[in-house]
């Protein structure tokens, strides 16, 4: 901005002082004007001031036209504005115009018209925080300087900061190379599973047979298993990735339904319930805990609605604790992984550094740069720790689980072998849910229906509107995992800046350059 002038037709004092306020180490600037004579009081009931100034580098250019896109009033007014009248005169006359008003991102249209080379815009009754943004399309070639003038980054480094940055760069180079090596060595010693040496994957030594325990080779080939191990599906889920997620709870519900402990019911997309049939069919401790948490001791025949997200969260939490206790007792892990272990600490630290650099200045990034490799290494190691370190016995059972996962992930309908009349779909569906292969398993079994090897009928444990060939496993799984997951919080946010032309659907209030 340059050539600022203040006049008034009411003969009031128009002297002014100006001040530029910087923020974020020069990344933002605000020009503030203070108008009037501190020694004179205005006695008029109403006074008019006219502010004039020149702005360079505020144009935008698109394919086929140039554009003047301007926040005429800005959005920071704490008072209401009764009336806004804007005129824009451009070379060659306005080819098209846009005008929006309201808060940032509003697309409400204000009045606009064109006459000759001048376009006019009007709007009344703006509330505090609302503004007017105009757009004027101009023929290409009429304005020589039609590109925005972009200022370089205003962040500044003092000599002391530059010296600190140089030191941080040297230290960072050492840390960048050293921290991954240290993390890898630590993981090799403390993080890898154990395995029985000389035994095939999935097997354990016979009673009295000597066996040597060695570190697991992650590249060892796991043989395909044509049936799941004789363990509950929730324990398999914990064993394979070290966590009991809502997916394991969904699989356990289906497994209990297949056993006849309960019935799953859904008559519409927004309705989902379970009905207790025979709680004695639950044999594992975590299954009994889950039924008791859902039904709260109600007798058989009781029905519980699970349509709302989080409606089964307490039951899921109780089941997680029970499964972890069971697996601890089985000795499958040297230490059962924490239910909250993840890489969020390291990645959260990285995000905090980046946020600090934007909020406080680039010096934060330079100071913290040597720490980033350490944080990243911690994040990766903690993410690996989420799976836990299995004992040789735990690794053997995990091999069986992974071998069955390979089978469900690769077997086609014409390769499946099962006894006539066997409900193979229901039998393996809980496992497919844990392996995130439910949709594939439903498709394979749908092919079996079309081949005439499975009956086209709704599973006996399900009451709803889907037959076997079109069974909606996605709806089933998502409904149960949603019920076992905390309900999402509501909220919205938006930016006051746009990237596209106001004449291609991108016009909204608060999107251009302008006054504040």
- What are the sequence ranges of the domains in the chain? 1-56, 58-148, 225-341+420-483
pLDDT given for residue 334 in this prediction: 85
- Mean pLDDT is lowest, of 100-114, 145-159, 410-424, for 145-159
pLDDT given for residue 352 in this prediction: 64
pLDDT in tens, 397-453: 999 999 999 999 999 988 888 888 889 999 999 999 999 999 999 899 989 999 999
pLDDT at 491 over 50: no
Which of 74, 98, 13 is CA-nearest to residue 516?
74
pLDDT given for residue 467 in this prediction: 42
Q: What is the mean pLDDT of the chain?
A: 83
pLDDT grade for 359, boundaries at 50, 70 and 90: low
What's the topology of domain 58-148? Immunoglobulin-like (2.60.40)
The answer to whether 405 touches 233, Cβ cutoff 8 Å, is no
DSSP category for residue 310: T
Which of 130, 498, 516 is CA-nearest to residue 508?
498
User: In the β-sheet with 118-126, what is the strand arrangement from edge to edge?
Assistant: 81-89, 118-126, 111-115
- State the Cα–Cα distance between residues 470 and 99, nearest whole angstrom: 51
pLDDT at 273 over 80: yes
pLDDT given for residue 368 in this prediction: 62
Mean of the pLDDT values across residues 472-478?
76
pLDDT given for residue 504 in this prediction: 62
Report pTM.
0.56
Question: CA Rg, the chain, in Å?
Answer: 34
| Strand partners of residue 407 | none
Query: Which is more confidently placed, 27 or 404?
Result: 404
pLDDT at 37 over 80: yes
pLDDT grade for 356, boundaries at 50, 70 and 90: low
In the chain, the percentage of residues whose pLDDT exceeds 70 is 82
Beta strands (DSSP E) in 429-511 are 462-464
- State the Cα–Cα distance between residues 242 and 12, nearest whole angstrom: 76
Name residues whose C-beta falls within 8 Å of residue 46's C-beta, 6 or more positions apart in sequence. 10
pLDDT grade for 89, boundaries at 50, 70 and 90: very high
pLDDT grade for 117, boundaries at 50, 70 and 90: confident
- Mean pLDDT is lowest, of 269-273, 331-335, 412-416, 437-441, for 269-273
- Choose the most confident range, by mean pLDDT, from 21-30, 205-214, 273-282, 340-349: 273-282
- State the Cα–Cα distance between residues 164 and 363, nearest whole angstrom: 9
pLDDT given for residue 501 in this prediction: 67
Which of 134, 12, 32, 129 is CA-nearest to residue 85?
134
- Mean pLDDT is lowest, of 108-122, 475-489, 499-513, for 499-513
CA 329 to chain centre: 36
pLDDT given for residue 389 in this prediction: 84
475's tokens: 């709806």
Mean of the pLDDT values across residues 49-76?
90
Which of 119, 78, 118, 83 is CA-nearest to residue 101?
83
- State the Cα–Cα distance between residues 263 and 462, nearest whole angstrom: 6
Name residues whose C-beta falls within 8 Å of residue 244's C-beta, 6 or more positions apart in sequence. 234, 237, 238, 319, 320, 323, 324, 339
- Mean pLDDT is lowest, of 17-21, 409-413, 506-510, for 506-510
């Amino acid at each position: 901005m340059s050539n600022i002038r203040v006049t008034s037709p009411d003969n009031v004092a128009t002297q002014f002082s100006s001040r530029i306020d910087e923020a974020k180490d020069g990344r933002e600037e605000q020009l503030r004007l203070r108008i009037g004579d501190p020694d004179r009081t205005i006695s008029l009931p109403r006074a008019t001031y006219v502010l004039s100034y020149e702005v360079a580098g505020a144009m935008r250019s698109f394919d086929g036209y140039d554009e003047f896109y301007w926040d005429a009033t800005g959005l920071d007014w704490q008072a209401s504005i009764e009336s806004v009248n804007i005129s824009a005169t451009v070379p060659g006359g306005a080819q098209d115009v846009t005008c929006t008003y309201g808060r940032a991102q509003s697309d409400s249209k204000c009045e606009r018209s064109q006459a000759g080379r001048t376009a006019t815009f009007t709007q009344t009754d703006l509330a505090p925080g609302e503004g007017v943004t105009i757009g004027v399309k101009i023929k290409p070639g009429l304005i020589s300087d039609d590109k925005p003038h972009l200022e370089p980054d205003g962040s500044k480094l003092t000599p002391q900061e530059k010296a600190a940055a140089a030191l941080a760069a040297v230290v960072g180079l050492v840390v960048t190379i050293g921290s991954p090596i240290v993390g890898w060595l630590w993981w090799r010693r403390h993080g890898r599973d154990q395995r029985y040496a000389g035994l095939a994957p999935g097997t354990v030594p016979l009673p009295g047979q000597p066996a040597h325990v060695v570190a697991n080779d992650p590249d060892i080939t796991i043989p395909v298993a044509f049936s799941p191990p004789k363990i509950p599906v929730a324990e398999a889920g914990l064993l394979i990735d070290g966590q009991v997620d809502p997916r394991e709870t969904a699989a356990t519900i289906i497994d209990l339904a297949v056993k006849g402990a309960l019935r799953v019911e859904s008559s519409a997309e927004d309705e989902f319930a379970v009905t207790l049939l025979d709680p004695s069919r639950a044999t594992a401790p975590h299954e009994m805990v889950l039924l008791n948490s859902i039904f709260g001791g109600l007798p058989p025949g009781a029905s519980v609605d699970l349509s709302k997200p989080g409606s089964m969260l307490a039951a899921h939490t109780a089941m997680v604790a029970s499964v972890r206790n069971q697996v601890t007792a089985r000795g499958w892990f040297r230490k059962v992984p924490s239910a909250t272990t993840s890489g969020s600490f390291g990645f959260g630290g990285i995000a905090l550094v980046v946020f600090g650099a934007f909020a406080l200045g680039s010096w934060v990034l330079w100071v913290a740069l040597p720490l980033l490799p350490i944080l990243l290494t911690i994040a990766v190691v903690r993410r690996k720790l989420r799976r836990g370190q299995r004992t040789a016995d735990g690794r053997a059972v995990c091999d069986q689980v992974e071998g069955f996962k390979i089978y469900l992930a690769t077997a086609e309908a014409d390769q499946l072998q099962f006894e006539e009349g066997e409900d193979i779909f229901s039998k393996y569906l809980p496992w497919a849910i844990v392996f995130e292969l439910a949709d594939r398993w439903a498709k394979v079994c749908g092919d079996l229906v079309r081949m005439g090897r499975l009956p086209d009928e709704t599973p006996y444990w399900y009451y709803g509107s889907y037959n076997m060939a079109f069974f909606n496993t996605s709806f089933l799984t998502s409904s149960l995992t949603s019920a076992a997951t905390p309900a999402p919080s509501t909220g919205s946010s938006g930016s006051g800046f746009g990237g596209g032309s106001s004449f291609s659907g991108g016009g909204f209030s608060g999107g251009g350059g302008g006054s504040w």
